[in-house]
Homo-oligomer: A and B are copies of this chain.
Amino acid sequence: MIIVLKPDVSQADIDHVVQRIKDHGLTPHVSAGKERTIIGVIGDERAIENLPLSIFPGVDKVMPILSPYKLVSREFKHEDTLVAVGPDRTIQIGGTRLHVMAGPCAVESLERLMTVAESVRAAGATILRGGAFKPRTSPHSFQGLGDEGLDHLIEAKKKTGLPIVTEVLDTRDVELVASKADILQIGTRNMQNFRLLIEVGQTDKPVMLKRGLSATIKEFLLSAEYIMKQGNPRVILCERGIRTFETQVRNTLDLAAVPVLKQLSHLPVIVDPSHATGKWELVAPMAKAAIAAGADGLMIEVHANPEEALCDGEESLKPPKFHAMMQELKKVAAAVGREL
């Protein structure tokens, strides 16, 4: 940590800052420059990251040197983390082979779910997605089938062999969902629901953590750190678009986040182009772009009859379009040295 002092700082102010740093077991190093005096802090600056040094008399600003997260960082663990999914852990997310999670936004009925599940499996998806508990912006919208939806997912898993990923919204549901799902999804609105992160961090299931709508990459990684700190290292990061001023799309897919996250962290990164764009016709180009950018997988919404969908029909692909897209994705994957 570097503490930049004001041009007119007094010696007493300097001494005060120096003493407080020493109190925390760190070593301050004062360096008087031509225009400014600065204090460098030797030692693990995380010990004082909550000390509000910027308001100490004579202090102009405080610049951290280390990143605030540790367990998720590339410095902490150099090699890529592979997250194994499913009962027999045969699916490895984060390796050369890409994985596509596909299915409806919400589980609407067993029959509809089965139709989609069979078709996405046939097209090459390896994980089935489907929402049982749905976080909806309006209280007047369909909120999901809940428990019954989970059972439909279990049924679909039995018949197709596809492991399932589904969202958990409430700390009170974690145990239940963890007993049924293969991957626990933390949605974008809950990225900083810290109690929920702590709960899923105490399960032994992989967690797919979606980036918050307006979360910085640093905050995203700190939320992953919450999960890992509880002892669960099986975290999959998911970029799903951020909120910007542009209104032609639902959100702005931040694909540069993919290589940035892989530089900073050892965790696998997947992309959800369906929620990011909110328009089915943009899903295929953005899915291709995500793979070209280095994503380890995709999450895609598919619905047999989007006109009838109870949520997000606008962005859902019909099975034939999903199938065609998967064929194109295989080519792009091969072009960047990956398999699908």
Is A89 part of the binding interface, using a Cβ–Cβ cutoff of 8 Å? no
Q: Tally A residues with Cβ within 8 Å of B.
A: 105
* Alpha-carbon distance A274/B257, docked complex (angstroms): 15
A269-305 vs B, CB cutoff 8 Å, 1 = contact: the mask equals: 0000000110011100110111111100000000000
Assuming the A-B contacts A52-B306, A52-B314, A68-B140, are A2 and B289 also in contact, with contact meaning beta carbons closer than 8 angstroms in the complex? Answer: no
Partner of A253, one of B256, B280, B312: B256
B31 near A216 with CB under 8 A, answer no
B252:A244 contact, CB within 8 angstroms: yes
Beta-carbon contacts under 8 Å, A294-334 to B: 294, 306-307, 309-314, 328, 331-332, 334
Output the least CB separation between A32 and chain B (Å).
8
The answer, among B4, B44, B55, for a CB contact under 8 Å with A314, is B55
Within 7-31 of A, Cβ neighbours of B (below 8 Å) are at: 7, 20, 29, 31
Total copies of the chain: 4
Would you give the 0/1 interface string for A73-104, flagging 1 where the beta carbon is closer than 8 Å to chain B?
00100000000000000000000000000000
A331 to B288, CA, bound (A): 13
A139 touches B222 (CB 8 A): yes
Q: Are A252's CB and B242's CB within 8 A?
A: yes
Please pick, from B31, B190, B194, B246, the residue contacting A217 in the complex, using a CB distance under 8 A: B246
A50, A218, A249, A280: most-surrounded residue (chain B CB, <10 A):
A50
From 41 to 83 in chain A, residues with beta carbon under 8 angstroms from any chain B beta carbon are 41-44, 46, 49-52, 54-56, 63, 65-66, 68-70, 75
Residue pair A225, B314 in contact (C-beta under 8 Å): no
* B294 adjacent to A285 (CB under 8 Å): yes
Q: How far is the CA of A274 from the CA of B51 in the complex (A)?
A: 17
Q: Does A263 contact B (CB under 8 A)?
A: yes
- Among the listed B36, B38, B41, B307, which residue makes an inter-chain contact with A52, where contact means beta carbons less than 8 Å apart? B307
User: Are B38 and A69 within 8 A (Cβ)?
Assistant: no
The listed residue (B38, B50, B140, B171) touching A65 by CB distance below 8 A is B38
Q: What is the minimal beta-carbon distance from A62 to any residue of chain B, in angstroms? A: 9
Among B41, B245, B282, B335, which residue has its beta carbon within 8 angstroms of that of A260?
B282
Chain A stretch 166-220: residues in CB contact (< 8 A) with chain B: 169-172, 189-190, 192-195, 213-214, 216-219
One of B52, B229, B255 near A255 (C-beta < 8 A): B255
- Given A33-B40, A75-B7, A244-B244, residue A280 in contact with residue B171 (CB < 8 A): no
A256 touching B282 by the CB < 8 A rule?
Answer: yes
Q: List 16 A-B contacts (CB under 8 A).
A: A36-B66, A55-B307, A68-B138, A139-B225, A139-B226, A139-B229, A189-B192, A245-B245, A247-B247, A252-B252, A253-B254, A253-B255, A259-B282, A263-B281, A285-B294, A331-B335
Interface residues of A (CB under 8 A from B): 2, 4, 7, 20, 29, 31, 33-36, 38, 40-44, 46, 49-52, 54-56, 63, 65-66, 68-70, 75, 135-142, 169-172, 189-190, 192-195, 213-214, 216-219, 222, 225-226, 229, 242-249, 252-260, 263, 276-277, 280-282, 285-286, 288-294, 306-307, 309-314, 328, 331-332, 334-336
